[in-house]
Amino acid sequence: MTYSVKEIFLTLQGEGGQAGRAAVFCRFTGCNLWTGREEDRAKAVCQFCDTDFIGTDGDGGGKFETADTLADAILSQWPENPLTSSTPGLVVFTGGEPLLQLDATLIDAMHKRGFSIAVESNGTVVAPAGIDWLCISPKAGSTLEQTSGTELKLVFPQPGLDPASLSKLDFKHFWLQPMDGPNQSTNIQAAIAYCMTHPQWGLSLQTHKLTGIP
């Protein structure tokens, strides 16, 4: 299988329950809820995306013909040897929609190299086995197929997707992440107010944007 990757970079996880941890991000090309082209945004299922996931031209991006070559490219960005260190490596597969490409072969290849695997997914595709930290971020107007995982991270507010409709799903952590965009400060205040009155939910800020790291 050939994997199409927009970019691979070392940073700190900015969001959710692993915020602050060093991680190699592998951003796959393509998504099933938006083409990624600005002229298509208004008619997309997901219209608020903050990410460029078109093509393979980012830092460390490209077409990888095997899981081993992609896994080696990810490993090469980690600052130590995870197989001899007491700390496992951490890779975050994101996109675009990573579950359109992430498969058992790549999961095995990362585990063999001493990595723990985190995924950021929109939940429209059932996740393969073996993911160590599964973050699902449901999108209004799409069908949620993956209804369990480690954390549920709802971009808030989303007309047509009330947090209460998700609160019984099988996740350990429930986050509201204020929608970035023209109404960001209003959205932050709305998320704070919701979390204060619905303690099952915590606030996830996009800390990488505050600090200016990728």
> Which residue reads 């919701």 in tokens?
194
For residue 122, the minimal CB distance to ligand SAM (Å) is: 4
User: Where do runs of H (alpha helix) occur along 17-84?
Assistant: 67-75
CB-side neighbour CA atoms (13 Å) of 27: 20
Catalytic residue flag (residue 31) = yes
Q: Per the annotation, does 14 bind a ligand?
A: yes
Q: Helices 104-112 and 67-75: crossing angle, nearest 10°?
A: 40
Decide if 46 is catalytic.
Answer: yes
Of 54-62, 89-97, 110-118, 195-203, the segment contacting ligand SAM by CB under 6 A is 89-97
Q: Which does 61 bind (CB under 5 to 8 A by kind): ligand 2KA, ligand SAM, ligand SF4, none?
A: none
Is position 50 annotated in a ligand binding site?
yes
Binding flag, residue 151, ligand SAM (CB under 6 A)? no
Binding track, positions 84-103, relative to ligand 2KA; x by CB under 6 A: ----------x---------
Which of ligand 2KA, ligand SF4, ligand SAM, none sits in contact with 34, Cβ below 5 to 8 A by type?
ligand SF4
> Closest by alpha carbon to 115, among 131, 129, 128?
131
In the sheet where 62-64 sits, what is the strand order?
62-64, 3-12, 22-28, 89-94, 115-121, 133-136, 148-156, 170-178, 201-203
Long-range contacts of 129-136 (CB under 8 A, 24+ apart): 129/104, 130/104, 131/107, 133/17, 133/18, 135/15, 135/16, 136/171
3-state class (DSSP) for residue 131: coil
Query: Is 97 annotated in the active site?
Result: no
Interface characters, 121-150, with ligand SF4 (x: CB under 6 A): -x----------------x-----------
Q: Which residues are annotated as a binding site?
A: 12-14, 27, 31, 46, 48-51, 94, 96, 137-139, 177-180, 214
Residues in touch with ligand SAM (CB under 6 A)? 31, 48-51, 94-95, 97, 120-122, 137, 153, 155, 177, 179-181
Catalytic residues: 25, 31, 46, 49-51, 120, 208
